[in-house]
Amino acid sequence: FETDVKPDLYSLGFGEPIPISADHGLNIDILLEAVILALQAHGHYIDYVPEAEEASIRVAIVGKPNAGKSSLFNAIVGSQRSLVTELPGTTRDIVDETLLIDDIPITFVDTAGIRKKSKVSVKNVEYYSVMRAIDAIERSDIIVLVVDATQGISNQDQKIAGLAEKNGKGLITVFNKADLINDKKASSLLKAFELELYFVNYSPVTFTSAITGRGIDELIDKIFLVSEKIDYHIPTGLLNNLIGRFVSSTPPVGTKVKKAKIYYATQINTRPPLIMLNVNDPRLFTHSYLRGLKRAIRENIDPLEGTPIFIKLRRKK
């Protein structure tokens, strides 16, 4: 903070200036505290609970219009659970709501978006809802993809699942309105999930009815489960033993003049699990080979249900 700027800022008459950096988050907490104190000094009571927000699991309920997102959220709220906060977001009419469930805060992102009846034309409904879903996905840890069980999986559902995968978010697939379908239809939906959402086949699936309350507790349990899995850290020794067995049974092809080699691996991040492979040449490893490696990790390690796995290649120096 340049000291020669301070006299100019003091001359504005607003008191002690607070140097901040939006890019690095410098002093943002001090700025927020100053704003709250100023509001309270003028008789405004601020119910601010940063601890609950910071520690909460952030969940976005997304899906195509009329899939039952609003009624599903209301069923969760009404299931003997208490609303803690309603905090306005940065975009107009966006509200995040935090519930205490088994004494654990869960923040549902953009509940205004799932409650609001769209006022845009029918032609623009899908575009509007997808754009809103993108924002909710980016601000969440776990995505609850709500599919209308009476309609089946749509192109928009596939787009949203792809966004969750791309952004590295935990994913739960919910077939809502289950009270309106029979067992045969439910079975066909599970088959459709395997075919049409194969790229997120790690997602747990549940059937719910916001009307009867079916599956609501199971959905809450899955939110807690996926929250654990996106933070799962694979022990380095276990990871390298597994990869060694995979390479022995399924060697990477490489080229005629250069053999692909994996030297060692380590997990370098969570939310989602990110694995670094130290290799001789990253260009020798195909997407299909890495997909097979991810599948082997899922099958042989504590099931990483609901979370994508990212693999990054680094040339060993």
CATH number assigned to the domain comprising residue 244: 3.30.300.20
Residue 48 domain-assigned? no
CA dihedral 217, 96, 125, 187 (to 10 degrees): -10
Instruction: Please give the model's pTM, rounded to 2 decimal places.
Output: 0.74
| pLDDT per residue of the chain (317 residues) written in tens, 0 to 9 | 445 555 666 666 666 777 777 665 666 666 766 776 666 666 654 444 444 445 689 999 988 878 888 888 888 887 544 444 445 444 444 567 888 888 888 988 865 444 444 444 445 555 666 677 788 888 899 999 999 999 999 988 998 899 999 999 999 999 999 999 999 999 999 999 999 999 999 999 999 998 899 999 999 999 999 999 999 999 999 999 999 999 999 998 877 778 889 999 999 999 999 999 999 999 999 999 999 999 999 888 877 899 999 999 999 87
223 and 106 in one domain?
Answer: yes
Given this model, what pLDDT does residue 128 score? Answer: 63
Length of the chain equals 317
Question: How far, rounded to the nearest angstrom, does the alpha carbon of residue 89 sit from its chain's CA centroid?
Answer: 17
31 and 69 in one domain?
Answer: no
CA 274-137-206 angle, to 5 degrees, is 85
Can you tell me the distance from the alpha carbon of 182 to that of 285, in angstroms, rounded to the nearest whole number?
45
- Given strand 262-269, what is the order of strands in its sheet? 262-269, 274-279, 310-315
Question: Do residues 208 and 71 make contact, with C-beta atoms less than 8 angstroms apart?
Answer: no
Residue that the structure tokens 């993809």 belong to: 145
288 and 181 in one domain?
Answer: no
DSSP classification of residue 141 = S
25 and 81 in one domain?
Answer: no
Domain boundary among 230, 265, 295: 230
Can you tell me the distance from the alpha carbon of 146 to that of 69, in angstroms, rounded to the nearest whole number?
6
Given this model, what pLDDT does residue 49 score? Answer: 43
Can you tell me the distance from the alpha carbon of 127 to that of 151, in angstroms, rounded to the nearest whole number?
19
Given this model, what pLDDT does residue 70 score? Answer: 82
185 and 151 in one domain?
Answer: yes
Closest alpha carbon to 269 in 233, 301, 240, 241: 233
Q: How many structural domains is the chain composed of? A: 3
165 and 244 in one domain?
Answer: no
Given this model, what pLDDT does residue 141 score? Answer: 94
Q: What range does the domain containing 108 cover? A: 55-230
Domain boundary among 205, 230, 255: 230
Residue 222 domain-assigned? yes
Residue that the structure tokens 């003049």 belong to: 257
